[in-house]
Amino acid sequence: MTATEMLQIIGESGQTVGDHETDLTPDELVAMYEAMVRTRGLDERMINLQRQGRIGFYVPSTGEEAAQVGSGTVLLKDDWLYPSYRMPGTLLMRGVPLRDMIANCYGNEADNCFGRQMPVHYSFAKQNIVSISSPIGTHIIQATGTAMAQKLRGTKEITAAFFGDGGTSSNDFHSGLNFAGVWKVPCLFICSNNQWAISVPIEKQTASETLAQKAVAYGMPGVRVDGNDVLAVYKAVKEAAELARSGGGPSLLELMTYRRGPHSSSDDPTRYRGNQADEWLTRDPILRFRKYLERQDLWTDKKEKEATERIKNECNALVKEIEKLPNPTTESLFTDVYANVPPHLREQYKHLVETEGEGHEPDPDAAFPL
């Protein structure tokens, strides 16, 4: 398959395309679908919370669930991930608790970053998920470095760097892929081409026919995938992962999808793209996979209703619990930075407590900076 052709397994009506077969069990297929529904349920709840003023910011991923879940299903627990900020489904497949993601959006004492990171900029060391960074593309070279370390150590672990089409316009994209190609490091470069880098359309970012074909210049395979087809994503990522684990080096995967909502809760996409999103409603990845499962007698309307209700109740219960928790303590500014707090910080903390007290009350009138 060339870098200009597109891999597809499930058509928009839920039928299989070609003679592709999956090695996934019925239970695994259902688990993938439920993760996609759970991802969208989280999105809807968090956007509502932001609009109600209960959290300050959110980055939705509606329409991109197949790209997230299909990728996350493949990667093993010891692999390292350098995520972008639009992929909660991948994190769920890695075993990240939904509670931890919701807590990050509140930035209170339940947040493992203690409010230091922006909302939706997750960091989960237990799952080998490196902190998300707002500057576009900077993590690509970091992921390449991690993969180089894995190669030097001779392990079977691999690294995956996730980014959007806008990330391919960054200097770090060239630097990271060029180094990875030269040294054949075990790194997957997974690009969710959702057509827009905030307000910049893909045709104004590159003159290439596809983003996948950029891989040719770096000496690695480039694969273009229907990113709204969860089984095609799974197949492409699995084959690239197997290549990397066997010493075959990196791959670039372009997952063709669409950002149905705004870039973030601070964005109004109708100002720059009109009604284009309506064209993608029939290509909805969840609806497509549901039709496929129904054809396989693995899903019903009853199961759909039960799953939707269960996820809704789960999100509501977690929000209710997390909203009751206090803000991070002032002490966490000092004790959560160093393994052993140095003397000068202990002195500063003592002085702060003497002058300001133990507590910290946020300014209720302060606007979120985005």
Mark 99-137 as b/e (b = at least 16 C-beta within 10 Å).
ebbbbbbbbbebbebbbbbbbbbbbbeebbbbebbeebb
For the residues of 236-260, what is the DSSP string, one character each?
Answer: HHHHHHHHHHTT---EEEEEE----
| Average pLDDT rounded to a whole number, residues 24-39 | 97
Query: Helix, strand, or coil here: 171?
Result: helix
Most confident of 12-26, 183-197, 269-283, 325-339: 183-197
* Per-residue pLDDT at 54 exceeds 70: yes
Domain ranges of the chain: 26-323, 330-370
| Average pLDDT rounded to a whole number, residues 94-122 | 94
pLDDT of 112 reads: 92
Q: Which residue is it, tokens 């009138």?
A: 365
CA 291 – CA 209 distance, rounded (Å): 31
| CA proximity to 108, closest of 369, 352, 323, 265 | 323
pLDDT of 355 reads: 85
Query: Helix, strand, or coil here: 151?
Result: helix
**What amino acid occupies position 226?**
D
Q: Are 81 and 130 in contact (CB under 8 A)?
A: yes
* Per-residue pLDDT at 352 exceeds 90: no
Q: Are 240 and 223 in contact (CB under 8 A)?
A: yes
| Average pLDDT rounded to a whole number, residues 5-16 | 94
Strand spans (E) along 151-242: 159-164, 187-193, 196-197, 200-201, 222-226
Distance of CA 208 to CAs 223, 228, 353, 355, 362, Å?
14, 22, 58, 60, 48
Q: Are 215 and 236 in contact (CB under 8 A)?
A: no
pLDDT of 18 reads: 79
Query: Helix, strand, or coil here: 203?
Result: helix
Whether domain 26-323 has CATH 3.40.50.970: yes
CA 57 – CA 198 distance, rounded (Å): 16
Q: Which of 40, 86, 260, 263 is catalytic?
A: 263
- 272 classed as catalytic: yes
The pLDDT tens digits for 139-175 are: 999 999 999 999 999 999 999 999 999 999 999 999 9
Other beta carbons within 10 Å of 95: 12
Percent residues over pLDDT 70 in the chain: 96
- Which H helix or E strand runs over 298? none
CA 304 – CA 332 distance, rounded (Å): 43
| Average pLDDT rounded to a whole number, residues 309-335 | 93
User: Do β-strands 251-256 and 187-193 pair in parallel, antiparallel, or remain unpaired?
Assistant: parallel
Q: What are phi and psi of 253, to 5 degrees?
A: -115, 130
Q: Which of 272, 295, 310, 349 is catalytic?
A: 272
pLDDT of 357 reads: 72
Q: What residues pair up with 60 in beta bridges, in sequence order? A: none
**Out of 2-16, 58-72, 254-268, least confident range:** 2-16
> What is the number of residues in the chain?
370
pLDDT of 1 reads: 67
The pLDDT tens digits for 80-94 are: 999 999 999 999 999
| Average pLDDT rounded to a whole number, residues 318-336 | 90
- 259 classed as catalytic: yes
Most confident of 17-21, 89-93, 349-353: 89-93
pLDDT of 335 reads: 81
CA 29 – CA 48 distance, rounded (Å): 29
The pLDDT tens digits for 251-298 are: 999 999 999 999 999 999 999 998 777 778 889 999 999 999 999 999
pLDDT of 369 reads: 58
Q: How confident is the prediction for the chain on average, in pLDDT?
A: 93
Taking each helix axis as running N to C, give the angle between helix 26-51 and helix 65-74, from 0 to 180 degrees, rounded to the nearest 10: 130
* Per-residue pLDDT at 364 exceeds 70: no
Taking each helix axis as running N to C, give the angle between helix 26-51 and helix 301-323, from 0 to 180 degrees, rounded to the nearest 10: 50
- Name residues whose C-beta falls within 8 Å of residue 283's C-beta, 6 or more positions apart in sequence: 12, 228, 258
* Per-residue pLDDT at 359 exceeds 80: no
CA 235 – CA 226 distance, rounded (Å): 11
The pLDDT tens digits for 169-218 are: 999 999 999 999 999 999 999 999 999 999 999 999 999 999 999 999 99
